[in-house]
Chains A and B, each alone.
Chain A
Amino acid sequence: MNQETPAESSAPLEVHDVSVAYHKKLVLYGVDLSVPTGRLVGIIGPNGAGKSTLIKAIMGIMPLSSGWVKIFGKPYAKNCHRVGYVPQRESVDWDFPVNVMDVVLMGRYGHMGLGRRPSAGDRDIARACLEKVNMLPFAQRQIGNLSGGQQQRVFLARALAQESDLYLMDEPFVGVDAATEAAIITLLRDLKENGKTVLVVHHDLATAREYFDMLMLLNMRLLAFGPTEEVFTPENLQNTYGGRLNILSEVVQIVGETKL
């Protein structure tokens, strides 16, 4: 592992040669990228391309088979308080006995010590974040009693409450109404304006171009990464979506087998 220079280490996210295997099956292979500050990045790729896996690998939820990840120049565990996360909506049980306020307060847990309780200040921040997503009137609602779009906004408020510099969002636009989608994208642009970096897993090619200023095309390998207008080309998309059985992925597969 080569040590990077201090100038590079300030990048919000740096991923170096990361491979991930799940049940001994290769999901990501040799992903290399560095995301600059203050960008809104879309992660695009077909189903099973490893988009969610990449996010989970960045956060250390999935173990890496090789490579390393740095957040603002440090390993994830050292800088986890600078990362906000929005998981997929289906990943939790919406019958869980918590209300909206409880969920948003979870965003503050990373800033409290072990065994500490949320302070009045934490509650104020949580309320402010709920206000930003227009969910304050629902603060005492049980979370199962919300529409899909409202649930997604609660998750977003929780991420805002984390007051992070890098946000990782897994499919925040799935199952939300048009109004919520517009509200979310406005919020993401606000975050960007404030110098935050946002990575969003996205499945809709039609809107990807308009939403994001950088795109990451992923299909087990990182096929392209750069400003949207450069990356969003027919050849790149063909490589990403049409290339499931192309020589590239077969070769990568063979390499992966010998390596593991």
Chain B
Amino acid sequence: MSALIPAFDFAQVIVEPWTENLSASAWVVLMGALVGTACGLVGNYLLLRRMALVGDAISHSILPGLVIVFLVFRHVSTPLMFLGAIGAGLLTVGIIEFIHRQTRVKADAATCIAFTSLFALGVVMLSMAETTGPIHIDAECVLYGEIAFVPLEPPVMLGGHELGPPSVIRMAGVTLVLIILVTVFYKELLLTSFDPALARSMGLKTGFWHYALMAALSIVVVSSFEAVGAILAVAMLIVPAMFAAQLTFHLPTRLVLTALHAAVSSFLGFHLAIWLGCSTAAAMVVVGAILFLVAWALTSIRRKPRLFEGTDQQSSAFDPIQGLVSKPNPDKSQAATPSC
């Protein structure tokens, strides 16, 4: 066991990455933070809609989309990648809805069926394609990527200046666009997530926003693939959003907290990985999960008994809409407890 966990060498773990290898370290930490922020933004809305595991489903089922795009066009570029991802993502959501609307199979089983079948299809297509020629997709990489390779990519050049590794540039673009979209369409996203019935009565197309969110999810996940892989992308979707939701009920604060959480867990995870010599992306997620556990412990200690609110205990416990909309007052008092 002692061989497993190396001695903690402060200079080597904390100092050297920033003195010896500044640019590589910076790119890795930046990428981690960007992935966490972009995933976390989408994740907040997934959590509100109780669709956290749809994120899991889509992140797996993107694989056949990528393989098909590659088999058809024989090369990989950002727009093609996004195309394949959106196609596969929307197909997954479509299959899930088809199965559980048309038959007695429930949504949870339908989700499981759709994404595992598509993922299996992707893996089989991949191994069949490998026999015909080289293919630049690695199923294992899709599962748990390697963020440490990010600085090794040939950098993007713009007007004679080195801009940075392409995946970081792409991720930054996606994050930026996402932040703009979330700001511009804040009230639409809020309303369709909180109270779809009210949103419909006000003329909002809830179906459109649902699929738009799924498309955004697909793009975010596919851009995170190279760095963190499918399963850890799921972690980045869920964990920062859960952390933020644990601390506050105010959605804008949640969004900011998500980004903060992403940055902190990226930074600490990077150093943890250097110390333990393990996968960087996984270490970032481990740190993120620990941060959530800390938030959980803190809020459990500080929470007080609730006021009687006159809502039925069952409906407030199981109905997300009711739980979120009908009692702003007690939640505000709670939101004020942690300093953020």
Contact between chain A and chain B defined by CB under 8 Å:
yes
Determine whether the beta carbon of B310 is less than 8 Å from that of A260.
no
Task: Tell me the complex Cα distance, A50–B316, Å.
Answer: 13
By a CB distance below 8 angstroms, the chain A residues around B313 are 22-23, 25, 27, 48, 50, 53
Determine whether the beta carbon of B305 is less than 8 Å from that of A260.
yes
Determine if B130 is an interface residue (Cβ-Cβ < 8 Å). no
Interface flags, B305-323, vs A, CB<8A=1, else 0: 1111111111101000000
**Chain B: which residue is nearest A252 at the CB level?**
B308
Determine whether the beta carbon of A47 is less than 8 Å from that of B304.
no
Q: Which A residues from 1 to 38 make CB contacts under 8 A with B? A: 21-27
By a CB distance below 8 angstroms, the chain A residues around B309 are 25
Indicate whether A244 sits within 8 Å of B310 (C-beta atoms), given known contacts A22-B317, A23-B317, A95-B104.
yes
Interface flags, A227-260, vs B, CB<8A=1, else 0: 0000000000000000010000100110011001
Interface size for A (C-beta < 8 A) is: 22
Determine if A52 is an interface residue (Cβ-Cβ < 8 Å). yes
Determine whether the beta carbon of A24 is less than 8 Å from that of B314.
no
Indicate whether A52 sits within 8 Å of B314 (C-beta atoms), given known contacts A24-B303, A95-B104.
yes
CB distance from A142 to the nearest CB of B (A): 10
Q: Which B residues from 291 to 340 make CB contacts under 8 A with A? A: 303-315, 317
Q: Which A residues from 119 to 164 make CB contacts under 8 A with B? A: 144
**Chain A: which residue is nearest B313 at the CB level?**
A22
Determine if A220 is an interface residue (Cβ-Cβ < 8 Å). yes
Determine whether the beta carbon of A23 is less than 8 Å from that of B306.
yes
By a CB distance below 8 angstroms, the chain A residues around B307 are 25, 253, 257
Determine whether the beta carbon of B308 is less than 8 Å from that of A220.
yes
Task: Tell me the complex Cα distance, A256–B303, Å.
Answer: 15
Partner of A26, one of B106, B308, B312: B308
Task: Tell me the complex Cα distance, A156–B27, Å.
Answer: 67
Query: How many residue pairs, one in A and one in B, have C-beta atoms under 8 Å apart?
Result: 44
CB distance from A99 to the nearest CB of B (A): 15
By a CB distance below 8 angstroms, the chain B residues around A50 are 313
CB distance from A84 to the nearest CB of B (A): 22
Indicate whether A48 sits within 8 Å of B312 (C-beta atoms), given known contacts A22-B317, A23-B317, A95-B104.
yes
Determine whether the beta carbon of B310 is less than 8 Å from that of A257.
no
Partner of B308, one of A52, A144, A253: A253
By a CB distance below 8 angstroms, the chain A residues around B310 are 48, 244
Partner of A24, one of B305, B311, B312, B315: B305
By a CB distance below 8 angstroms, the chain A residues around B312 are 47-48
Task: Tell me the complex Cα distance, A219–B88, Å.
Answer: 52
By a CB distance below 8 angstroms, the chain A residues around B305 are 21, 24-26, 256-257, 260
By a CB distance below 8 angstroms, the chain A residues around B317 are 22-23
Task: Tell me the complex Cα distance, A260–B306, Å.
Answer: 10
By a CB distance below 8 angstroms, the chain A residues around B104 are 95, 144
By a CB distance below 8 angstroms, the chain A residues around B304 are 24, 257
Interface flags, A44-62, vs B, CB<8A=1, else 0: 0001101011000000000
Interface flags, A196-222, vs B, CB<8A=1, else 0: 000000000000000000000000100
| Most chain B CB atoms below 10 A, which of A22, A50, A52 | A22
Task: Tell me the complex Cα distance, A257–B305, Å.
Answer: 6
Determine whether the beta carbon of B314 is less than 8 Å from that of A249.
no
By a CB distance below 8 angstroms, the chain B residues around A249 are 308
CB distance from A110 to the nearest CB of B (A): 25
CB distance from B333 to the nearest CB of A (A): 13
Task: Tell me the complex Cα distance, A24–B311, Å.
Answer: 14
Task: Tell me the complex Cα distance, A94–B123, Å.
Answer: 37
Task: Tell me the complex Cα distance, A52–B317, Å.
Answer: 14
Indicate whether A48 sits within 8 Å of B311 (C-beta atoms), given known contacts A22-B317, A23-B317, A95-B104.
yes
By a CB distance below 8 angstroms, the chain B residues around A220 are 308
CB distance from B101 to the nearest CB of A (A): 14
Task: Tell me the complex Cα distance, A93–B271, Å.
Answer: 49
Task: Tell me the complex Cα distance, A47–B304, Å.
Answer: 24
**Chain B: which residue is nearest A259 at the CB level?**
B305
By a CB distance below 8 angstroms, the chain B residues around A24 are 303-306
CB distance from B335 to the nearest CB of A (A): 16
Task: Tell me the complex Cα distance, A220–B310, Å.
Answer: 9
Task: Tell me the complex Cα distance, A24–B313, Å.
Answer: 11
Task: Tell me the complex Cα distance, A27–B303, Å.
Answer: 17
By a CB distance below 8 angstroms, the chain B residues around A95 are 104, 106
By a CB distance below 8 angstroms, the chain B residues around A48 are 310-313, 315
By a CB distance below 8 angstroms, the chain A residues around B314 are 52
By a CB distance below 8 angstroms, the chain A residues around B303 are 24
CB distance from A63 to the nearest CB of B (A): 13
Q: Which A residues from 182 to 199 make CB contacts under 8 A with B? A: none
By a CB distance below 8 angstroms, the chain B residues around A252 are 308
Task: Tell me the complex Cα distance, A256–B306, Å.
Answer: 10
Q: Which 10 A-B pairs have the closest CB atoms?
A: A25-B306, A48-B312, A22-B313, A95-B104, A24-B305, A260-B305, A253-B308, A27-B313, A48-B311, A257-B305
| Interfacial residues, chain B to chain A (CB-CB below 8 A) | 104, 106, 303-315, 317
11 contacts between A and B (CB under 8 A): A24-B303, A24-B305, A26-B306, A47-B312, A48-B315, A50-B313, A52-B314, A95-B104, A244-B310, A256-B308, A257-B304
Q: A23-B306, A24-B303 are in contact. List 8 more A-B contacts (CB 8 A).
A: A23-B317, A24-B306, A25-B308, A48-B313, A50-B313, A249-B308, A252-B308, A256-B305
| Interfacial residues, chain A to chain B (CB-CB below 8 A) | 21-27, 47-48, 50, 52-53, 95, 144, 220, 244, 249, 252-253, 256-257, 260
